Structure 1
Amino acid sequence: MNLFSGTINNLENSIQYASAKNDVISNNISNVDTPNYKAEKVSFKSTLENEMTGLETKTTNERHFNFGEEGNNPYRIVKDSSTTYNHNGNNVDIDKEMSELAKNQIYYNSLIDRMNGKFNSLQSVIRGGN
């Protein structure tokens, strides 16, 4: 039996994604004045598309899907080398990074709140509803 039908695993993966995104954004902000630094971002969609290309699934029923091994990160960190915003070759847009940091913090906090709610529900069941 899977605890909460995999919800905790999904929340854990989402928290790891948000944490990785926070690290990348913080690194970009700290290198805003570094000459020739190219901003990084956490990419999910392109990783998913790359993983889906040439994917062979093995099923026991036509309704089942096998999308690869578990435990692999559903995201990757990519460097944006296509642009330059500053005179020193740097492409960090501090306003964009600060905005992304704020959005990511809200996302992370909502995930933590949801995870706490799941554990509170489990604790209530263990205690017999008290």
Structure 2
Amino acid sequence: MNLFSGTISLLENALNYSSTKQKVISQNIANVDTPNYKAKEVSFKAALDYAVDQSFSTNRTDYRHFVLHKPVDASSSVINKKLVSYNENGNSVDIDREMSDLAKNQIYYNALTERVSGKFSTLQNVIRGGK
């Protein structure tokens, strides 16, 4: 949705990122006691690359020009955590860190939804003519 500016689409991409992060954190918490489970995380760089590729396109006028558009899959932003210590059963989930990440992500998501709500109420105010 591109109404008057790209702000709403940027907020939409941020909400998608936060939603994916919520799912990954929830999976990690659910598998805290699963033997040999490797904790996952959402890569901000991969999510950013995906968002840029969605809104950025190039036109090659000559075959010698560089190809700047590379398709990135949104699911590729979920990766296994690197450099983590493992529990006795081979599990790499740190429940304290996951709960902390969950709280931070919830605050981030709430801020985004309030911002989207504010944008739509501003549009609604404009449509009504300021009444």
Q: What TM-score range do you get, normalising by the shorter chain?
A: 0.7 to 0.9
**1:37 aligned partner:** 37
Pairing of 1:58-73 with structure 2 (within 5 A): 58=59, 68=69, 73=74
**1:79 aligned partner:** 80
**3-state SS of the aligned residue for 1:125?**
helix
Query: Does 2:37 match 1:26?
Result: no
**3-state SS of the aligned residue for 1:4?**
coil
Separation of aligned partners in 1, 2:100 and 2:127: 41
Q: Which runs of 5+ in 1 are unaligned?
A: 61-65
For normalisation by structure 1, the TM-score amounts to 0.78
**1:63 aligned partner:** none
Separation of aligned partners in 2, 1:47 and 1:11: 13
Q: CA RMSD in A?
A: 3.2
In the TM superposition, residue 84 of structure 1 has moved relative to its aligned partner by: 3.4
**3-state SS of the aligned residue for 1:5?**
coil
In the TM superposition, residue 74 of structure 1 has moved relative to its aligned partner by: 9.0
In the TM superposition, residue 70 of structure 1 has moved relative to its aligned partner by: 8.8
Query: Does 2:119 match 1:118?
Result: yes
Q: Which runs of 5+ in 2 are unaligned?
A: 62-66
**3-state SS of the aligned residue for 1:68?**
coil
8 Å Cα contact 1:17/1:75 also seen in 2: no
Separation of aligned partners in 1, 2:75 and 2:27: 21
Separation of aligned partners in 2, 1:24 and 1:74: 11
> What fraction of aligned residue pairs are identical, expressed as a percent?
56
In the TM superposition, residue 83 of structure 1 has moved relative to its aligned partner by: 3.1
Runs of 4+ in structure 1 off by over 6 angstroms are none
| Greater Cα offset, 73-82 or 39-48 | 73-82
